[in-house]
Chain A
Amino acid sequence: MTGKLVLAILLTAAGLALAPTPGRAAGILRFGQNAADIGSLDPHFATGTQDRSLVDMVFNGLVRYKPGDGSVFEPDLAPSLPAPKTEGGKQTWTFQLRKGVQCHAADGVPAYELTSEDVVYSLQKSADKNRSAYAADYTGMTVEAPDAQTVKITLDKPLSPVLFFPKVANYSGGFIVCKRAAEKLGAAGLKTRPVGTGPFMFKSYSPQERVQLVANPAYFRGKPQLDGIDFRYMPDLSSRELALRNGQLEVINGAPDKAWVDKMKGVAAVKVDVFGVGEVAVLNLRTTAPPLDKVEVRKAIAHALDREEFQALFGRGIAENVYSPVPARFLPGGLTREELAPKGLDYPTDREKAKKLLAQAGFPNGFPLEMNTSEMTSYRVLYESMQAQLAKVGIHVNVRMVDHSTMHSLIRKDANPLVIYIAWRPNADVYLTQFFHSDSIVVTGKKPNTNFAHYDKIDDLIERARVETDAAKQVALWKQAQLRILEDMVAYPIQYQNQVYARSAAVDYGHDLVSVLALYPGITEKTRLLK
């Protein structure tokens, strides 16, 4: 009797378990993100890829990066890109707003038409260090609303379009929040309840599990073709991959590894996308740390390294060699190998030359170095490869592995004489200012940031380029600054690492993928699921 009862229970459970999956709502795109949870959905605090991609779907900027191609600016909330004017000795940019753009409805705040009041509120929020992680980018900027449809921005120092538009584009501090909702929700509420004007509206958040978005039927570019997005937080790559193969997800973060890419390309009905923007890995050499204070030693290190060996760690296509700190592939102001090779500033691998330079500097037998790396694969393998390559010329590097945020803390305390740093920055000015302006020197700078090299020889070039409004002259100044960096060998550019995503063949993003600043493929009103 008992046996029969157990059998009946087991059969019922099995039947229940193997019952067909109820159909999901048509047109919901399920996205597996490489993260444990959101960080913040307040766009002005959204710094992780998982947050940047979500806010990209919910908010707009005055202008936007063309979907799939971050090198082109397009109109967004403003129907056209303005030209700057000079008023009272100061540069001004005046934007007209599109009519009829609706802020999403939020808890207790009905949908309403976006006005210049919202834009002013939003840009002032971006400039406030207590309400934004990007406040430093908005100093010296005054925002006014002459009328409901006009926004006037006055700059203390003039900027070229290349440097100004990113401040008001759909990225970082340029996202426009809706004032009424932001005030109602407060800082804490905004973290988990984004309210913008974008193609998708927030529906729900389940901590550590998912965020659900629904299509915004009133979107000013037309109703999105998808019904919504189901954004799942899955930090484990194998889980994401298996869920994609099983048909439970349509898009996943992949691995920056050619073997993984090749494997996934072999899976039926799955497509792999490898695209920019590439985060640039640069080796920074601290010029104040003996024996690296001798330029011969720094050049010896550069000649001892081989970009091809670094590239082989990830595979061609996933990683590409880079020859200047600003990547020429994605940003104006970068230098190509062809521009540098005649001057020898591409530092071709020549280990005999490296040994001679070390001998000239008084280190014929090399020397030891101590440093720390992050446990993250993208960092760890670069440090390990550098360790093996430098050993060939007698430089013995002892690498200690720490967790990622500890590495960030340590390198900002000068713990590493050699710092490999992987980062994307939106333009040449930010790259050069943060990594090579004397104000940004770690520990001792006026505004310590990421100048690990303790370099102070190109402040003038950086500052002149920043206020140069002639695009060609500005690019020439940036290039000149980087030639100096390479001549002094304070930074050895290694490679840029592309983004890798896999998707069901049924997903059509609605645009070609060249480069996306938010480091995800970009989901817009045109993205659709094919039958």
Chain B
Amino acid sequence: MVRYVAQRLLFSIPVFLGVVTIVFFVVRVIPGDPATAALGDYASKEAVEALRQRMGLEAPLPVQYLRFLGDLLRGDLGVSLITGASIREQITHALPYTLELTVVAILIGSVLGIPIGVHTAIRRNRLADYVGRVLSLTGLSVPAFYLGILLILLLAIRFQWLPAVGGGGRDDLAETARHLVLPALTLGLVMTASVARLTRSAMLNVLGQDYVRTARAKGLREAVVRLRHALRSALIPIVSITGIWAVSLVGDSVTVEVVFARPGLGKMMVGAILQRDYTALQSIMVVYTAFVVAINLATDLIYGWVDPRIRH
């Protein structure tokens, strides 16, 4: 297992480096000029040129790239081109909001999705199955930002139970939790739909296998057959796909953070794009890359743990 973990970790390094290189150049391909974006259309050409000089945008791209890699290796994420604020501090402030959101959403998606999938598989072609399938198809079809707005209208505006926007103060646990409920529920429900569908089809595959029939023939209780024998096997594709969904959840978290004005990495990234803040944008993308690489690594490791054959 240790060798397997080391192998996966080593594979992650070139992936990470490749992605950050692509990010560096793609960020600069985005049309628009940060100096113009910062000064607006009223500023004179001289003022814009003076600002470009101060921003260090006149250096050749390869030089900027080498500086970027050097800074990254030292753990220096630089300062915002626009405000001059430390990007490391901004990310440190924003990251917990995004981490909480995705972790709680994954928990909601798994805790709701797997039992619903198992239940609908067992009740195949009965009312519960039809209802589950319709709901999960609906969940897959509704964009996260739209579901978010519907939840705000219902729970924040109609019933006034929860705040509509914001992240809550970090020093007040109750406020943080209250501000987390709606965005996490939004992402969690979207994930629940896909996890439920996948669990259902994986369970249906497994429930028809010979070893399940054998387990039943041995006289084991139905719950034991379903959970210990069927679900354990079905978990392999579920873990794999849940990993992929967790990655797409990171993408969905961007729109959800914007809709809920949640001060996480997603909102920060959209702001950096709007302001053409290259240094902030590339640093945020580096963090996202690390995030995705870590999720993929975790998926590989869990996969190896659930199915020992994969380690070999």
Contacts and interface: CB of A to CB of B under 8 A. Distances in A.
Interface of A: 13, 16-19, 21-22, 32, 36-40, 45, 47-48, 129-130, 132-136, 172, 188, 191-192, 205-209, 232-236, 238-240, 242-243, 245-249, 402-406, 408-409, 423, 425, 447-450
Given A238-B259, A406-B31, A245 B178 contact: no
Nearest to A30: B166
A41 to B, nearest CB: 9
Given A36-B275, A40-B83, A405-B32, A18 B161 contact: yes
13 contacts: A17-B178, A39-B275, A133-B40, A172-B42, A192-B85, A207-B93, A209-B167, A232-B261, A239-B261, A246-B163, A403-B30, A409-B33, A423-B41
A232 to B, nearest CB: 7
A404 B83 contact: no
Contacts of A233: 271
A129 B43 CA distance: 10
B149 interface: yes
B80 A246 contact: no
Given A21-B175, A402-B31, A47 B39 contact: yes
A150 to B, nearest CB: 30
B9 interface: no
Contacts of A17: 162, 174, 177-178, 180-181
Given A206-B263, A232-B261, A448-B45, A242 B36 contact: no
Interface stretch (B151-159, B215-223, B232-240): B151-159
B84 interface: yes
A40 B270 CA distance: 18
A242 B149 contact: yes
Contacts of B260: 239
A88 B157 CA distance: 68
B32 A207 contact: no
A132 B173 contact: no
Interface in B4-60: 30-33, 36-47, 50, 54
A154 B167 CA distance: 52
Interface-centre pick from A36, A135, A233, A404 (highest chain B CB count, 10 A): A36
Contacts, number: 173
B297 interface: no
A472 to B, nearest CB: 29
Interface string B244-273: 000000000000001111010001101110
Contact of A48 (B40, B83, B267, B270): B40
Contacts of B261: 32, 232, 234, 236, 239-240, 243
B162 A40 contact: no
A242 B152 contact: yes
A208 B94 contact: yes
B82 A449 contact: no
Contacts of B267: 36, 208
A133 B168 CA distance: 36
A236 B259 contact: yes
Nearest to A243: B165
B276 interface: yes
A64 B33 CA distance: 33
A129 B39 CA distance: 12
Contact of A47 (B40, B163, B181): B40
Contacts of B276: 405
B163 A248 contact: yes
A37 B82 contact: yes
B45 A449 contact: yes
Nearest to B263: A209
B135 to A, nearest CB: 20
Contacts of A447: 44-45
Contact of A18 (B89, B162, B172): B162
A243 B164 contact: yes
B43 A133 contact: yes
B46 A135 contact: yes
B39 A45 contact: yes
Interface in B261-307: 261, 263, 267-268, 270-272, 274-276
Nearest to B91: A207
Nearest to A434: B42
Contacts of B89: 207
A13 B40 CA distance: 46
A245 B162 contact: no
Contacts of B271: 36-37, 208, 233, 235
Given A129-B46, A129-B47, A239 B165 contact: yes
A242 B163 CA distance: 10
B259 A136 contact: no
Nearest to B90: A207
A37 B275 contact: yes
B51 to A, nearest CB: 8
B138 interface: no
B157 A188 contact: no
Interface in B175-194: 175, 177-178, 180-181
A129 B44 CA distance: 9
Given A39-B82, A39-B275, A239-B165, A16 B45 contact: no
Contacts of A130: 50, 54
B214 interface: no
A134 B89 CA distance: 31
Contacts of B178: 16-19, 21
Contacts of A409: 31-33, 36
A13 B275 contact: no
